[in-house]
Chains A and B, each alone.
Chain A
Amino acid sequence: MSARLSVLDVGHGNCSVFREDKHVGIIDAGRGPYASIFIESSGITEIDLIVISHADDDHLAGVIGLLSSEKIKVNKIRLNADAMKDTKIWRDVRELLQSQHNQGKISVELGIFQGKLHWSGNDVSLDVLAPSIYNTLSGVGGKDESGKAITSNSGSVVLRVSHKGGKSVLLASDMEDQTLQNILDSGQDINASVLVFPHHGGRPGSGSVEDFTDRLIAAVKPSIILFSNGREKHDNPRPEIVSRACAQGVSYIACTQLSKNCHISPLKQQPGSLLFSAGADEGKSCAGTIEVNLESGQCHGGQTEAHKAFVNVLSSPMCRSTVVATAAANEIH
């Protein structure tokens, strides 16, 4: 089976699972049980690597379920530790990892910074684009190269999952304008076929949303943008972000859950039309979990068709122009 990456519908939060042959990696674990359920129901019993981009609970909390599980073995975790976080949930993770480490169950690596990340597969590679070594050594609460304060979000890990054939997915976590500027200043290539848009399509720091969106899309040049959003939180993605993405010629846009901006009331889909979804039972899902073929850089074809059919019944879908165009292109092929 081809290498693939699944952007899970975990509600508001981020969790991406990528698989190459028998190897499994997870970037962030969302909140709630969904990462654990997805892994268990996919028949996965061993995870090679978990990366936690930063210590906010919508990226972190689900790792507690993965690490507590007696059905799943986690071999290694790499955390973007946050010394400023003395939240109880961060202490929960610390205690759990201490216990697992003492029992010899897991390899824990602290600190994560720009450069290649070790991955056991042959066709997929992982590149950390941010934070830089300079910023990692400074840490949250410190200053970046330009003298700006580093926050949990601006210091979060930006990671690209690439296939040797040339396609890639950029997982932007909660990066802010400052993070983007740091990456661009470092001269790194940030290009990717698929962009999982930062901060669930919410406000990217204090600057202009439109400017940030334009700059990010111009740098990444994605043909597909995905939003890992929750219907119940923050009304993401912001309409101005989707609008800018459409204007910049992105060919396909999809959200894991149904934004209230697209349809004011919840809307249930036909059973079986979604791959996996935290919100399906309550009519909160849109595309649900979105699977990307890493070799082709395309979303799962049947899923794209189901998404198009669903978007067509929504009252004001922000992504309509891209979804219809993609479906038409698929028909031509």
Chain B
Amino acid sequence: MSLAILNKEIRRIHVIDDDPEVRGAYLEHVKDMDVEGIDVSNSIVNIESLFSTIDTEHDGIICDYQLTGRKYSACNGDVFGKAAYDRHIPFILSSHFKPLSLGGQRRYIPKAVAADDFGIDAVREAFELCLGEYQGSFSLRRRPIRTLVRIEGMKPYGAVYQLNVVVPNWNPTDGVQILIDASSLPDLSKLQAEIEATGEARLTAEVNTGATDSNELYFSEWKSL
């Protein structure tokens, strides 16, 4: 029982959701893929406790986004997505919320799907995208391109900022709202002053400007012009 993707053999898929019924539904899909499913039923104390049970060579992960509601997990699925990416483990994020706003972690989550779109094909595609990126190969929609980002508004929420941004090299007219850690933005006070004075400021960032939908966009590695 295994799934072969890009020269990798996936033998087990861990299923993470705070709702046992949803986990059960995911496990049915895993069974249909002829792979062993692992039901992550115990509460997840932290990232390390989860990943200590995962074989980085042969395991994959199906993970829901909302996990903190029933004291099931200390953090949401986007954080596990980043951790899986760092460890080169294939991963798919699912959520019954639309749009999928992923707390600034979209860079590290190659495929996120609404619950209605979840299925075997989505899992396979997600794992292919992950394994490709781990080998340095990005699809057009995911490839990071450094580009100018115009910021037309910013609002603090603790250590996170909500930015209203336009990526002119992606869509010159329609903006998107994103959440970014304040620590990742260069020269924050200058940025705020510029927006207050002129209504707009410009930085560069790595953005997947080949994305076809705003929900796929990610932003990382912010720099001054």
Residues in A lying within 8 Å of B, measured CB to CB: 31-34, 36-37, 57, 61-62, 64-65, 67-71, 87-89, 92, 95-96, 99, 278, 281-282
B147 to A281, Cβ gap below 8 A? no
Q: Which of B186-217 contact A (CB under 8 A)?
A: 200, 202, 204, 208-210, 212
A88 to B200, Cβ gap below 8 A? yes
B148 proximal to A (CB < 8 A) = yes
Identify B145's interface contact among A33, A95, A99, CB under 8 A.
A33
Distance in angstroms between the alpha carbons of A32 and B145 in the assembled complex: 10
Distance in angstroms between the alpha carbons of A282 and B141 in the assembled complex: 11
A89 to B168, Cβ gap below 8 A? yes
Known: A37-B140, A37-B210, A95-B202. A31 touches B169 (CB 8 A): yes
B210 to A32, Cβ gap below 8 A? yes
A99 and chain B: residue at smallest CB distance: B225
A65 to B172, Cβ gap below 8 A? no
B167 and chain A: residue at smallest CB distance: A64
B102 proximal to A (CB < 8 A) = no
B143 to A61, Cβ gap below 8 A? no
B170 and chain A: residue at smallest CB distance: A32
Q: A36-B145, A65-B209, A278-B140 are in contact. List 15 more A-B contacts (CB 8 A).
A: A33-B170, A33-B210, A36-B147, A61-B168, A61-B169, A64-B147, A64-B148, A65-B169, A68-B148, A68-B204, A88-B150, A92-B202, A95-B225, A278-B210, A282-B212
Chain B residue numbers with a CB within 8 Å of A89 are: 168, 172
CB distance from B115 to the nearest CB of A (A): 24
A95 and chain B: residue at smallest CB distance: B202
Chain A residue numbers with a CB within 8 Å of B204 are: 68
Chain B residue numbers with a CB within 8 Å of A88 are: 150, 166, 168, 172, 200
Can you list the 5 inter-chain pairs with the closest CB atoms, starting with the nearest? Answer: A33-B209, A99-B225, A64-B169, A89-B172, A33-B145
Identify B168's interface contact among A34, A69, A92, CB under 8 A.
A92
Selected A-B contacts with CB under 8 Å, 27 pairs: A31-B172, A32-B169, A33-B140, A33-B143, A33-B145, A33-B209, A33-B210, A36-B147, A37-B140, A37-B143, A37-B145, A62-B169, A65-B145, A65-B146, A65-B169, A65-B209, A68-B147, A68-B148, A69-B145, A69-B146, A88-B172, A92-B148, A92-B168, A96-B202, A96-B225, A278-B140, A281-B139
Distance in angstroms between the alpha carbons of A324 and B209 in the assembled complex: 37
CB distance from A259 to the nearest CB of B (A): 19
B172 to A61, Cβ gap below 8 A? yes
Chain A residue numbers with a CB within 8 Å of B209 are: 32-33, 65
A281 to B140, Cβ gap below 8 A? yes
Residues in B lying within 8 Å of A, measured CB to CB: 139-141, 143, 145-148, 150, 166, 168-170, 172, 200, 202, 204, 208-210, 212, 225
Identify A70's interface contact among B141, B146, B170, CB under 8 A.
B146
CB distance from B48 to the nearest CB of A (A): 34
B141 to A64, Cβ gap below 8 A? no
Distance in angstroms between the alpha carbons of A68 and B204 in the assembled complex: 7
User: What DSSP secondary structure best describes chain A's contact surface?
Assistant: helix
A57 to B172, Cβ gap below 8 A? yes
Chain A residue numbers with a CB within 8 Å of B172 are: 31, 57, 61, 87-89
Chain B residue numbers with a CB within 8 Å of A70 are: 146
A64 to B143, Cβ gap below 8 A? no
Distance in angstroms between the alpha carbons of A71 and B221 in the assembled complex: 15
Chain A residue numbers with a CB within 8 Å of B169 are: 31-33, 61-62, 64-65, 68
Identify A92's interface contact among B139, B150, B210, CB under 8 A.
B150
Chain B residue numbers with a CB within 8 Å of A99 are: 225
B150 to A65, Cβ gap below 8 A? no
Known: A37-B140, A92-B150. A64 touches B168 (CB 8 A): yes
CB distance from A39 to the nearest CB of B (A): 11
CB distance from A54 to the nearest CB of B (A): 15
CB distance from A284 to the nearest CB of B (A): 11
Chain B residue numbers with a CB within 8 Å of A92 are: 148, 150, 168, 202
Chain B residue numbers with a CB within 8 Å of A32 are: 169-170, 209-210
Distance in angstroms between the alpha carbons of A64 and B170 in the assembled complex: 10
Distance in angstroms between the alpha carbons of A299 and B24 in the assembled complex: 56
Identify A57's interface contact among B140, B146, B148, B168, CB under 8 A.
B168
B201 and chain A: residue at smallest CB distance: A95
CB distance from A18 to the nearest CB of B (A): 22
Chain A residue numbers with a CB within 8 Å of B170 are: 32-33
The winner among B146, B170, B172, B210 for most chain A CB atoms within 10 A is: B172
